[in-house]
């Protein structure tokens, strides 16, 4: 009760709030008011960091993008402020729609920081307010989108969906929703309907989608490169090769088990909270859950949405290849942690 009132006051009167806190602190073990301060502090740190490492540049500037994603993927204030599992997506076109009625995709923190939030540039301008209906704070950051990067810099061809790509290209704001009880960011959204113009103006483009989420480029490299941790993990990480090989085997087994008839970006099953596993980076973020779901026979589902029992040999093969991939991910991440510059 008090928490809700206090939160509403935060935006209007910090002094009044401080006075209320001293009175209430003793009998209220709900420490929401403290977190209001923490959230304000976090928001200002994150906005400053984004402005410093992902500042406005040309929307085609790959060096600027690489600097941004490497910084955010590493030990950044942003990454430290992310919940263990987040949702990401477009602001609902119906401005009145609640978050629970908005289709969003689930992501691990390193994936959202390194592959998604880094596709935007930030001026450092932001506001923060408590939104009663959602029971969350929202931080609105003025932003712009790097729409002119080479295709392999996007986690998948966003242009498979013209409307979604249109909103990405015209985005002027990134919204970060913050849980008042944990002070962690739980949802990220982008919109073209925020205040002001995008931080950099750009020409919209319309690339063609050829139906492939991953592809091989003219030089024989697998794309999108960002999903192979290219530029995120160090080039001399000794586990890169193993990561690649073990993912390929897992991807084949997932195809045998039909996982990719549902867990792909065009979301054929219209999941409200889509889980993606169709690239090494996406699968790395979900591997623990993937293993559990298969082990416990919760996945795959059949066409009617009922658990479908896998052939025992396929289940074994899926768990074996998933286990090998999981180990490579762990080893690669541990090596990075020990070799940070």
The distance of closest approach from Cβ of residue 239 to ligand HEC in the complex, given in angstroms and rounded to an integer, is 22
CB-based contact 230:69 (threshold 8 Å): no
Could you tell me which residues come within 8 angstroms of residue 54 by beta carbon, excluding any fewer than 6 positions away?
A: 64, 68, 71, 72, 118, 120, 121, 122
**Of the two residues 146 and 263, which places its CB atom closer to ligand HEC in the complex?**
263
For residue 108, count other CB atoms closer than 10 A to its CB: 20
CB of residue 258 to ligand HEC, shortest distance in Å: 4
Cβ distance to ligand HEC smaller for residue 184 or 253: 253
Nearest-approach distance from CB 104 to ligand HEC, in angstroms: 13
**For ligand HEC, the closer CB: 230 or 286:** 286
Separation between Cα atoms, residue 162 and residue 115, nearest integer Å: 20
* Residue of this chain nearest to ligand HEC (CB atom): 259
The CB-of-319 to ligand HEC minimum distance in angstroms stands at 10
Instruction: State in angstroms the smallest separation of the CB of 330 from ligand HEC.
Output: 17
User: Residues with Cβ < 8 Å from 242, sequence gap 6 or more?
Assistant: 328, 331, 332
46 or 275, CB closer to ligand HEC?
Answer: 275
Q: How far is the CB of 133 from ligand HEC (least distance, A)?
A: 24
Measured torsion, CA atoms of residues 157, 69, 39, 47, in degrees rounded to the nearest 10? -100
Instruction: Indicate the burial class of 20 (C-beta count within 10 angstroms; 0-12, 13-18, 19 or more).
Output: middle
- Closest CB to ligand HEC among 170 and 259? 259
The least distance separating ligand HEC from the CB of residue 10, rounded to whole angstroms, comes to 35
CA 275 to CA 283: how far, in whole Å? 9
Tokens of 287: 């591997």
Please give the residue ranges that form the binding site for ligand HEC (CB under 6 A): 254, 257-259, 261-263, 269, 271, 275, 286, 289-290, 293-294, 298-301
Residue 18 or 292: the one with the smaller Cβ distance to ligand HEC is 292
Sign of CA dihedral 211, 146, 65, 265: negative
């Amino acid at each position: 009760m008090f928490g809700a009132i206090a939160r509403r006051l935060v935006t209007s009167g910090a002094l009044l709030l401080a006075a209320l806190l001293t009175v209430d602190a003793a009998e209220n073990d709900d420490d929401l008011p403290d977190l209001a301060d923490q959230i304000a502090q976090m928001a200002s740190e994150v906005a400053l960091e984004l402005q410093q490492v992902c500042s406005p540049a040309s929307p085609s500037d790959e060096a600027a993008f690489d600097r941004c994603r490497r910084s955010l993927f590493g030990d950044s204030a942003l990454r430290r402020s992310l919940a263990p599992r987040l949702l990401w997506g477009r602001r609902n076109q119906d401005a009145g729609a609640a978050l629970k009625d908005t289709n969003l995709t689930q992501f691990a923190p390193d994936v959202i920081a390194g592959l998604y939030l880094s596709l935007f540039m930030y001026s450092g301008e932001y506001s923060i307010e408590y939104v009663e209906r959602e029971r969350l704070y929202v931080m609105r950051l003025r932003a712009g989108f790097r729409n002119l990067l080479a295709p392999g810099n996007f986690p998948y061809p966003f242009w498979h969906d013209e409307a979604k790509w249109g909103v990405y290209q015209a985005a002027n704001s990134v919204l970060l929703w913050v849980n008042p009880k944990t002070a962690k960011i739980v949802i990220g959204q982008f919109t073209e309907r925020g205040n002001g113009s995008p931080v950099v103006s750009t020409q919209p483009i319309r690339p063609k989608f050829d139906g492939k989420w991953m592809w091989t480029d003219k030089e024989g490299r697998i794309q999108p490169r960002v999903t192979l941790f290219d530029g995120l993990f160090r080039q001399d990480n000794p586990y890169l090769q193993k990561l690649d090989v073990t993912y390929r085997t897992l991807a084949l087994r997932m195809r045998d088990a039909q996982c990719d008839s549902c867990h792909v970006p065009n979301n054929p099953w219209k999941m409200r909270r889509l889980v993606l596993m169709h690239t090494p980076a996406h699968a790395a973020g979900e591997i623990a859950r993937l293993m559990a779901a298969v082990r416990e026979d919760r996945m795959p589902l059949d066409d009617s949405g009922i658990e479908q029992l896998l052939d025992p040999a396929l289940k074994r093969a899926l768990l074996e290849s998933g286990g090998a991939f999981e180990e490579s991910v762990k080893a690669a991440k541990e090596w990075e942690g020990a070799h940070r510059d």
